[in-house]
Protein backbone atom coordinates (compact mmCIF):
# COMPACT_ATOMS: atom_id res chain seq x y z
CA UNK A 1 0.00 0.00 0.00
CA UNK A 2 3.00 2.25 0.52
CA UNK A 3 6.74 2.22 1.05
CA UNK A 4 6.34 1.52 4.77
CA UNK A 5 3.13 -0.54 4.76
CA UNK A 6 2.35 -3.96 3.28
CA UNK A 7 -1.01 -5.74 3.37
CA UNK A 8 -1.08 -9.54 3.05
CA UNK A 9 -4.25 -11.09 1.64
CA UNK A 10 -5.41 -14.52 2.83
CA UNK A 11 -8.36 -16.85 2.92
CA UNK A 12 -10.16 -16.87 6.27
CA UNK A 13 -9.40 -20.44 7.35
CA UNK A 14 -7.11 -21.07 10.31
CA UNK A 15 -4.60 -22.84 8.08
CA UNK A 16 -4.56 -20.04 5.50
CA UNK A 17 -4.07 -17.45 8.24
CA UNK A 18 -1.32 -19.54 9.87
CA UNK A 19 0.51 -19.71 6.55
CA UNK A 20 0.06 -15.99 5.96
CA UNK A 21 1.42 -15.30 9.43
CA UNK A 22 4.62 -17.14 8.47
CA UNK A 23 5.09 -14.57 5.71
CA UNK A 24 4.13 -11.69 8.01
CA UNK A 25 6.53 -12.83 10.74
CA UNK A 26 9.34 -13.07 8.18
CA UNK A 27 8.66 -9.57 6.80
CA UNK A 28 8.54 -8.01 10.26
CA UNK A 29 11.79 -9.69 11.28
CA UNK A 30 13.60 -8.98 8.02
CA UNK A 31 12.37 -5.40 7.68
CA UNK A 32 12.05 -3.71 11.10
CA UNK A 33 9.81 -0.71 10.91
CA UNK A 34 7.73 -2.11 8.06
CA UNK A 35 4.03 -2.04 8.93
CA UNK A 36 2.64 -5.43 7.87
CA UNK A 37 -1.08 -6.13 8.12
CA UNK A 38 -3.38 -9.07 7.33
CA UNK A 39 -6.61 -8.85 5.33
CA UNK A 40 -8.81 -11.95 4.99
CA UNK A 41 -11.31 -12.83 2.28
CA UNK A 42 -13.89 -15.62 1.90
CA UNK A 43 -13.52 -17.43 -1.41
CA UNK A 44 -16.14 -19.28 -3.43
CA UNK A 45 -14.39 -22.56 -2.64
CA UNK A 46 -14.85 -21.88 1.07
CA UNK A 47 -18.57 -21.30 0.63
CA UNK A 48 -19.51 -24.43 -1.35
CA UNK A 49 -18.95 -27.38 0.97
CA UNK A 50 -21.44 -30.01 -0.18
CA UNK A 51 -19.64 -31.13 -3.35
CA UNK A 52 -16.17 -32.26 -4.39
CA UNK A 53 -13.96 -29.59 -5.96
CA UNK A 54 -13.84 -31.39 -9.30
CA UNK A 55 -17.63 -31.04 -9.42
CA UNK A 56 -17.74 -27.27 -8.87
CA UNK A 57 -14.91 -25.84 -10.93
CA UNK A 58 -11.58 -26.80 -9.42
CA UNK A 59 -8.77 -24.89 -7.78
CA UNK A 60 -9.59 -21.47 -9.19
CA UNK A 61 -12.47 -21.26 -6.72
CA UNK A 62 -9.96 -20.67 -3.92
CA UNK A 63 -8.17 -17.76 -5.55
CA UNK A 64 -10.63 -15.61 -7.54
CA UNK A 65 -11.55 -13.29 -4.66
CA UNK A 66 -7.90 -12.95 -3.65
CA UNK A 67 -6.92 -12.15 -7.24
CA UNK A 68 -9.67 -9.52 -7.34
CA UNK A 69 -8.40 -8.01 -4.08
CA UNK A 70 -4.86 -7.79 -5.48
CA UNK A 71 -6.04 -6.10 -8.65
CA UNK A 72 -8.18 -3.66 -6.68
CA UNK A 73 -5.24 -2.69 -4.46
CA UNK A 74 -6.85 -4.06 -1.29
CA UNK A 75 -3.64 -5.98 -0.59
CA UNK A 76 -0.07 -6.07 -1.86
CA UNK A 77 0.54 -9.84 -1.77
CA UNK A 78 -1.63 -12.91 -1.37
CA UNK A 79 -0.53 -16.13 0.31
CA UNK A 80 -1.65 -19.57 -0.86
CA UNK A 81 -1.07 -23.25 -0.37
CA UNK A 82 0.70 -23.68 -3.69
CA UNK A 83 -1.11 -26.95 -4.38
CA UNK A 84 -4.40 -25.01 -4.44
CA UNK A 85 -3.29 -22.61 -7.18
CA UNK A 86 -4.23 -23.11 -10.83
CA UNK A 87 -1.23 -24.27 -12.84
CA UNK A 88 -1.07 -21.04 -14.84
CA UNK A 89 -0.79 -17.78 -12.90
CA UNK A 90 -2.43 -14.73 -14.51
CA UNK A 91 0.07 -12.60 -16.41
CA UNK A 92 -0.66 -9.56 -14.26
CA UNK A 93 -0.44 -11.50 -10.96
CA UNK A 94 2.82 -13.48 -10.97
CA UNK A 95 3.97 -15.81 -8.23
CA UNK A 96 6.81 -13.85 -6.63
CA UNK A 97 8.21 -16.63 -4.46
CA UNK A 98 7.89 -20.21 -3.26
CA UNK A 99 8.65 -21.01 0.38
CA UNK A 100 10.83 -23.83 1.64
CA UNK A 101 8.73 -26.98 1.64
CA UNK A 102 7.05 -28.36 4.75
CA UNK A 103 6.53 -32.14 4.95
CA UNK A 104 5.09 -33.04 1.50
CA UNK A 105 3.53 -36.37 2.47
CA UNK A 106 -0.09 -37.37 2.71
CA UNK A 107 -1.11 -38.96 5.99
CA UNK A 108 -3.87 -41.03 7.54
CA UNK A 109 -5.60 -39.43 10.52
CA UNK A 110 -7.49 -41.75 12.87
CA UNK A 111 -10.40 -40.89 15.20
CA UNK A 112 -9.24 -39.30 18.44
CA UNK A 113 -7.75 -42.00 20.69
CA UNK A 114 -7.66 -44.68 17.96
CA UNK A 115 -4.44 -46.37 16.87
CA UNK A 116 -5.80 -47.84 13.62
CA UNK A 117 -8.39 -46.82 11.04
CA UNK A 118 -11.90 -48.25 11.29
CA UNK A 119 -12.63 -49.68 7.85
CA UNK A 120 -16.26 -50.37 8.75
CA UNK A 121 -16.65 -46.63 8.14
CA UNK A 122 -15.64 -44.77 4.97
CA UNK A 123 -12.23 -43.20 4.47
CA UNK A 124 -12.75 -39.47 4.04
CA UNK A 125 -10.98 -37.72 1.19
CA UNK A 126 -12.00 -35.03 -1.28
CA UNK A 127 -9.21 -36.07 -3.67
CA UNK A 128 -9.60 -38.63 -6.44
CA UNK A 129 -5.79 -38.58 -6.73
CA UNK A 130 -5.51 -39.94 -3.20
CA UNK A 131 -8.35 -42.41 -3.66
CA UNK A 132 -6.84 -43.94 -6.81
CA UNK A 133 -3.51 -44.62 -5.10
CA UNK A 134 -4.95 -45.77 -1.79
CA UNK A 135 -7.22 -48.36 -3.39
CA UNK A 136 -4.10 -50.44 -3.98
CA UNK A 137 -2.73 -49.92 -0.45
CA UNK A 138 -6.09 -50.23 1.33
CA UNK A 139 -8.19 -52.68 -0.72
CA UNK A 140 -10.61 -53.12 2.17
CA UNK A 141 -11.47 -49.41 2.29
CA UNK A 142 -14.51 -47.58 0.99
CA UNK A 143 -14.04 -43.89 0.17
CA UNK A 144 -16.37 -40.96 0.67
CA UNK A 145 -15.91 -37.27 -0.04
CA UNK A 146 -15.30 -34.93 2.90
CA UNK A 147 -15.24 -31.13 2.55
CA UNK A 148 -14.73 -28.22 4.90
CA UNK A 149 -11.70 -26.73 6.59
CA UNK A 150 -9.30 -28.85 8.58
CA UNK A 151 -11.10 -28.39 11.89
CA UNK A 152 -14.44 -29.31 10.32
CA UNK A 153 -13.00 -32.49 8.82
CA UNK A 154 -11.45 -33.53 12.12
CA UNK A 155 -14.74 -32.91 13.92
CA UNK A 156 -16.60 -35.12 11.42
CA UNK A 157 -13.98 -37.82 11.93
CA UNK A 158 -14.21 -37.71 15.72
CA UNK A 159 -18.02 -37.73 15.59
CA UNK A 160 -17.86 -41.12 13.87
CA UNK A 161 -18.74 -40.16 10.30
CA UNK A 162 -15.44 -41.58 8.96
CA UNK A 163 -13.05 -44.34 9.91
CA UNK A 164 -10.05 -42.18 9.02
CA UNK A 165 -9.15 -39.16 6.91
CA UNK A 166 -6.47 -38.64 4.28
CA UNK A 167 -4.88 -35.22 4.71
CA UNK A 168 -1.67 -33.35 3.97
CA UNK A 169 0.96 -33.51 6.69
CA UNK A 170 1.95 -29.90 6.03
CA UNK A 171 -1.37 -28.42 7.10
CA UNK A 172 -1.54 -30.45 10.29
CA UNK A 173 2.01 -29.50 11.23
CA UNK A 174 1.53 -25.81 10.52
CA UNK A 175 -1.48 -25.80 12.86
CA UNK A 176 0.35 -27.69 15.63
CA UNK A 177 -1.75 -30.84 15.08
CA UNK A 178 1.07 -33.25 14.28
CA UNK A 179 -0.07 -35.55 17.08
CA UNK A 180 -3.23 -36.34 15.07
CA UNK A 181 -1.17 -38.05 12.36
CA UNK A 182 -1.67 -41.81 12.57
CA UNK A 183 0.35 -42.97 9.55
CA UNK A 184 2.60 -41.31 7.01
CA UNK A 185 2.19 -42.26 3.34
CA UNK A 186 5.60 -42.15 1.67
CA UNK A 187 5.81 -40.47 -1.76
CA UNK A 188 6.95 -43.70 -3.43
CA UNK A 189 3.61 -45.22 -2.36
CA UNK A 190 1.24 -42.24 -2.58
CA UNK A 191 2.56 -39.43 -4.78
CA UNK A 192 1.51 -36.05 -3.34
CA UNK A 193 -0.30 -33.29 -5.13
CA UNK A 194 1.98 -31.01 -7.14
CA UNK A 195 3.59 -28.39 -4.84
CA UNK A 196 2.14 -29.91 -1.67
CA UNK A 197 3.76 -28.34 1.40
CA UNK A 198 4.92 -25.20 -0.44
CA UNK A 199 3.57 -21.72 0.28
CA UNK A 200 3.23 -19.47 -2.77
CA UNK A 201 3.23 -15.68 -2.52
CA UNK A 202 1.51 -13.86 -5.37
CA UNK A 203 1.68 -10.17 -6.24
CA UNK A 204 1.15 -7.64 -9.00
CA UNK A 205 3.76 -7.10 -11.70
CA UNK A 206 5.10 -4.10 -9.75
CA UNK A 207 5.59 -6.17 -6.56
CA UNK A 208 8.93 -5.80 -4.78
CA UNK A 209 10.06 -9.44 -4.72
CA UNK A 210 13.26 -8.41 -2.91
CA UNK A 211 11.18 -7.97 0.25
CA UNK A 212 10.89 -11.75 0.38
CA UNK A 213 14.59 -12.57 -0.05
CA UNK A 214 15.31 -15.15 2.60
CA UNK A 215 11.77 -16.51 2.60
CA UNK A 216 11.98 -17.71 -0.98
CA UNK A 217 13.58 -21.12 -1.58
CA UNK A 218 15.53 -21.89 -4.77
CA UNK A 219 15.14 -25.63 -4.16
CA UNK A 220 11.38 -25.23 -3.90
CA UNK A 221 11.42 -23.14 -7.07
CA UNK A 222 13.11 -26.00 -8.97
CA UNK A 223 10.94 -28.82 -7.62
CA UNK A 224 7.68 -26.89 -7.72
CA UNK A 225 8.35 -25.69 -11.26
CA UNK A 226 8.84 -29.30 -12.36
CA UNK A 227 5.71 -30.52 -10.61
CA UNK A 228 3.52 -27.71 -11.92
CA UNK A 229 4.96 -28.15 -15.42
CA UNK A 230 3.98 -31.84 -15.39
CA UNK A 231 0.39 -31.01 -14.46
CA UNK A 232 0.15 -28.02 -16.82
CA UNK A 233 1.46 -30.08 -19.75
CA UNK A 234 -1.40 -32.51 -19.24
CA UNK A 235 -3.85 -29.64 -18.80
CA UNK A 236 -4.68 -31.03 -15.39
CA UNK A 237 -6.07 -29.39 -12.29
CA UNK A 238 -8.30 -30.13 -9.38
CA UNK A 239 -10.67 -32.06 -11.63
CA UNK A 240 -7.88 -34.40 -12.77
CA UNK A 241 -6.31 -37.00 -10.45
CA UNK A 242 -2.75 -36.07 -11.45
CA UNK A 243 0.16 -36.10 -8.99
CA UNK A 244 3.78 -34.98 -9.14
CA UNK A 245 6.59 -34.90 -6.59
CA UNK A 246 10.18 -33.81 -7.24
CA UNK A 247 13.32 -33.88 -5.10
CA UNK A 248 16.77 -32.39 -5.74
CA UNK A 249 20.18 -33.76 -4.83
CA UNK A 250 23.63 -32.52 -5.91
CA UNK A 251 22.28 -30.50 -8.82
CA UNK A 252 20.01 -33.28 -10.06
CA UNK A 253 16.28 -33.79 -9.80
CA UNK A 254 14.08 -36.87 -9.59
CA UNK A 255 10.40 -36.54 -10.45
CA UNK A 256 7.72 -39.12 -9.59
CA UNK A 257 4.35 -38.59 -11.19
CA UNK A 258 0.90 -40.07 -11.73
CA UNK A 259 -1.30 -39.68 -14.80
CA UNK A 260 -4.92 -40.75 -15.13
CA UNK A 261 -6.54 -41.27 -18.52
CA UNK A 262 -10.14 -40.20 -18.03
CA UNK A 263 -11.31 -42.01 -21.18
CA UNK A 264 -9.83 -45.42 -20.36
CA UNK A 265 -9.89 -44.89 -16.57
CA UNK A 266 -6.34 -46.21 -16.37
CA UNK A 267 -3.77 -44.64 -14.04
CA UNK A 268 -0.04 -44.84 -14.74
CA UNK A 269 2.93 -43.72 -12.71
CA UNK A 270 6.56 -43.18 -13.65
CA UNK A 271 9.87 -41.62 -12.62
CA UNK A 272 12.45 -39.52 -14.45
CA UNK A 273 15.93 -38.35 -13.42
CA UNK A 274 18.13 -35.56 -14.75
CA UNK A 275 19.77 -32.21 -14.21
CA UNK A 276 17.90 -29.65 -12.11
CA UNK A 277 18.43 -27.17 -14.93
CA UNK A 278 16.29 -29.38 -17.17
CA UNK A 279 13.53 -29.93 -14.61
CA UNK A 280 10.71 -28.45 -16.68
CA UNK A 281 11.46 -30.22 -20.00
CA UNK A 282 12.01 -33.44 -18.01
CA UNK A 283 8.56 -33.05 -16.46
CA UNK A 284 7.00 -32.53 -19.88
CA UNK A 285 8.83 -35.58 -21.25
CA UNK A 286 7.52 -37.75 -18.41
CA UNK A 287 4.00 -36.42 -18.95
CA UNK A 288 4.24 -37.28 -22.63
CA UNK A 289 5.53 -40.79 -21.88
CA UNK A 290 2.77 -41.58 -19.37
CA UNK A 291 0.05 -40.19 -21.61
CA UNK A 292 1.39 -42.38 -24.42
CA UNK A 293 1.03 -45.53 -22.34
CA UNK A 294 4.43 -45.74 -20.64
CA UNK A 295 5.15 -46.27 -16.97
CA UNK A 296 3.56 -48.61 -14.44
CA UNK A 297 -0.18 -49.18 -14.55
CA UNK A 298 -1.93 -49.03 -11.18
Rounded mean pLDDT of 34-43? 93
Q: Are residues 31 and 140 in the same domain?
A: no
pTM (predicted TM-score): 0.89
Residue 126 pLDDT more than 80? yes
Residues 39, 63, single domain; the answer is yes
How buried is 206 (Cβ within 10 angstroms: 0-12 exposed, 13-18 middle, 19+ buried)?
Answer: exposed
168 pLDDT more than 70: yes
Domain assignment of residue 128, given as a range: 106-185
Give how far Cα 223 sits from Cα of 215, 245, 249, 286, 293, Å.
Answer: 16, 8, 11, 14, 24
**CATH number of domain containing 176:** 3.40.190.10
pLDDT surpasses 80 at 224: yes
List Cα–Cα distances, 147 to 117, 127, 181, 229, in angstroms. Answer: 19, 10, 19, 27
52 shares its domain with 67: yes
pLDDT digits (tens, 9 = 90+) for 58-78: 556 678 899 999 999 999 999
For range 80-102, the mean pLDDT: 93
158 is catalytic: no
Q: Report the SS3 class of residue 37.
A: strand
Tell me if 193 is assigned to some domain: no
Give me the catalytic one of 54, 67, 84, 103: 84
Amino acid sequence: MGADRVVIGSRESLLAVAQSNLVIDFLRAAHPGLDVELATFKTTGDKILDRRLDQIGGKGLFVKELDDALRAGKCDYTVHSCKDLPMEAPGDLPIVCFSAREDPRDVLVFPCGAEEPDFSLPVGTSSLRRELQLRRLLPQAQFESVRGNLQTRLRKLDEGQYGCLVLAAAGLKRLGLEERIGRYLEPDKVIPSAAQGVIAVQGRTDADADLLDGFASHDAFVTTSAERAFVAYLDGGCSSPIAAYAETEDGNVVLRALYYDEETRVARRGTIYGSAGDAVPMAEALADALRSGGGEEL
